Amino acid sequence: MSIFARIAQVFSSRDSAVKHDAGASSRDQPTLADAQLKQQAAVQKMRRGVADVSVSRQRLDVQAADLQRAMDALEVQAQKSRRDGDESAAQNAMGRQEIMGGQLADLISRRDALAEQETMLIAALTQLQARVSGFNVTVETLKATRTAADADHAIAMALKDFEQNHPTPDTGP
């Protein structure tokens, strides 16, 4: 259903509710303000989601950097062990470094997936913000149209009252 159809539905349901059930509470009917609040809440929720994914990606970056430093330290330790003639300690350090290499690859893979998800969420957020802005413009246009219609009606009623209270004299032949 298009935005215009939804807005028309809101106005028609509001008008028919007023005509058919004068005792009903205004809280029973959705309003444009309610729709705007729901859309703003959706935008805020989307922003929080983007922020959460971004923070998670940054945490993985920090973990990957820490793991890389640990791997570098193991490399230095393995070289030192070889220089000292302790091949067993060097092999042990290289084995641990190999295990950490697998963990690092896994972290980088997860970080890349989160970065891709973050990019998609940012694109969706941008799209949602554009739709909300468009809806807000439509709401303001409808409000202005309604105000203009109310003003036209008030002017017509004033002219009618004026004509009833001040009949124009007939200027006969």
End-to-end CA gap in the chain: 62
pLDDT, mean over the chain: 84
**pLDDT class for 6, splitting at 50, 70, 90?**
low
Residues 45-69, mean pLDDT to the nearest whole number: 94
In the CATH hierarchy, which fold is given to the domain comprising 33-125? Answer: Helix Hairpins (1.10.287)
Give the per-residue pLDDT at 153.
92
Residue 107's closest CA among 59, 70, 139, 45?
59
pLDDT of residue 24 exceeding 70, the answer is: no
**Residue ranges of the domains in the chain?**
33-125
102/165: higher pLDDT: 102
